[in-house]
Amino acid sequence: MQHYIVLGNFTEKGLSKIRDAHGRMLESRDIFRCVGGSLKELFHTFGRYDFVALVEAPGEEEMMRALLILGEQGQIRTETMVAIPAGHTMEIIKEL
């Protein structure tokens, strides 16, 4: 499984329906599960982003599929980064 960090913001539409945020989080978990992944953690944050999520997915295509499904609802905008666990990075460094 690949790890991803998703940085997100609510759109105006998302903020206008903020009372539905819990249901949308549950729906997001289902969407990631349907593509073979999982929403591991979701944090609401102060500052530049409204939320940060840690997600696992089999690969980039599955991750893109899930994010497009979420994005087409028009309630969030996201920026996504591939996250490599430090232990794996240390193994790569040892091979240098």
b (16+ CB within 10 A) / e for 4-16:
bebbbebbeebee
Tokens describing residue 92: 């790569």
Indicate the pTM of the whole model. Answer: 0.89
Cα(43)–Cα(84) distance, integer angstroms:
19
What share of the chain in percent tops pLDDT 70?
Answer: 100
What are the extents of the domains in the chain?
Answer: 2-94
pLDDT digits (tens, 9 = 90+) for 20-57: 989 999 999 999 999 999 999 999 999 999 999 999 99
Span 2-94 CATH architecture: 2-Layer Sandwich (3.30)
Mean pLDDT of 60-77: 95
Cα(8)–Cα(19) distance, integer angstroms:
17
13, 75 Cβ separation under 8 angstroms: yes
55, 38 Cβ separation under 8 angstroms: yes
